[in-house]
Amino acid sequence: MSKKTKPKTEVHEYQAEMQKLLEILVHSLYTEREIFLRELVSNASDALSKVQLTTLTEEKVLDKDAELQIKITFDENKHKLEIEDSGCGMTKEELVSNLGTIANSGTLKFLQQAQSENKSAENLIGQFGVGFYSVFMVAERVELTTRSWQVDSQAWEWTSSGGGQYEITPAKYNQRGTRVTIFLKEDAKEFCSKWKLESIIKKYSNYLPFPVKVNDQTVNQVKAIWTQSKSDVEEDQYKEFFKQISHTTQEPLHYMHFSIDAPIQYYALLYFPESVGNEIVYARESKDIALYAQKVLIQSGNTDLLPSYLRFVQGVVDSEDLPLNVSRESV
């Protein structure tokens, strides 16, 4: 009887730049560790969008009829959290390219400058393609298992503790997509809580175009009314959304729903409340405009989009292609 050959593990060294990047990301830039979940869920949503397009352009796609979804599960006893999607997955080459190198040559320079100026990069980090690494703020170890949409593709497992190395091993994973398994640090057990996970998803990822499930229960709303045509939105929906963002039972005095295509594409849904409190009247600037990038919350209280005399206006601005000023950490 022959013995089964154990899959060969390859050990890879991070680029020197990547090691510095990880150190800065984990120890200096983030003020809110919960951002890691926003980044992982956004990555999963991107993978689902890619495979959605692939199924339209390619004849042979693994698990072509699989439901497009993001599943989050946790084990309190093992301090383990998993985020799994049925997206495009990755080949071995894509794993090395996406998780072993820095895609943007200016990323490290930007992060070092932000660190020296005591700035937080949490609002922009995903824009530079390095948001995945924020997971090491909460993870002792990360195991990422993935299989590409290509029918004959091999599944792979990527493992790292955020140090100078990562490992890649052939894996058994019978479905298309990616599963990120996070073994949480001792001080990050709070993320093994259904309530905590749901609140983070609703805060940052409530309007992603695919269902996000925690223990098989869909948490997000999926539809963002500001991206819909005005003719497709009922008056009651506008009123209900205002109550949701203003945390009040009153109806708006007026609202504006519009979109612009050039020079920057964006959607906007702005509300004028019937009344405002003294804290708004005497405030120096508006803090009630939520800034989204592709339906993902970037800033909950943007102060730059409207002049101070419109500080009573509440609402949402969402852009598909926000330009970023790297040196100033702004949009």
Name residues of the chain where pLDDT drops below 50.
1, 105, 123-125, 282, 324-331
Q: How many DSSP H helices and E strands does the chain contain?
A: 7, 14
Judge whether 311 and 280 are in contact, CB under 8 Å.
yes
Task: Tell which CATH classification among 2.60.40.3470, 3.30.365.10, 3.10.20.600, 3.30.565.10 matches the domain 10-218.
Answer: 3.30.565.10
Q: Average pLDDT over the chain, rounded to whole?
A: 84
| CA nearest to 314, candidates 293, 277, 288 | 288
Q: CATH 3.40.50.300: does it fit domain 225-319?
A: no
Cα(110)–Cα(327) distance, integer angstroms: 6
| CA nearest to 151, candidates 51, 266, 247 | 51
Residues of the chain with CATH 3.30.565.10: 10-218
- Helix residue ranges, H only, 118-234: 194-204
Ramachandran sector of residue 239 (left: φ over 0; alpha: ψ -120 to 50; beta: rest): alpha
Structure tokens at 267: 């959607």
pLDDT at site 293: 86
Q: Indicate the helix (H) or strand (E) that contains 22.
A: helix 16-24
In a 10 Å sphere around its CB, with 0-12 CB exposed, 13-18 middle and 19+ buried, how is residue 79 labelled? middle
Judge whether 169 and 8 are in contact, CB under 8 Å.
yes
Judge whether 264 and 305 are in contact, CB under 8 Å.
no
End-to-end CA distance of the chain: 64
Judge whether 205 and 41 are in contact, CB under 8 Å.
yes
The string of pLDDT tens digits covering residues 287-310 is: 689 999 888 888 888 888 888 888
Cα(199)–Cα(37) distance, integer angstroms: 11
Residues of the chain with CATH 3.30.230.80: 225-319
Question: Taking the model in full, what pTM does it have?
Answer: 0.81
pLDDT at site 31: 67
Q: Where are the beta strands (DSSP E) in 100-216?
A: 139-147, 155-160, 165-171, 177-184, 212-214
Give the sheet arrangement for strand 289-293, strand by strand.
Answer: 252-260, 266-273, 314-319, 289-293, 296-302
Degrees to nearest 5, angle at CA 51 with 216 and 100: 90
Q: What is the 3-state secondary structure (H, E, C) of 252-313?
A: EEEEEEEEECCCCCEEEEEEEECCCCHHHHCCCCCCCEEEEECCEEEEEEECCCCCHHHCCC
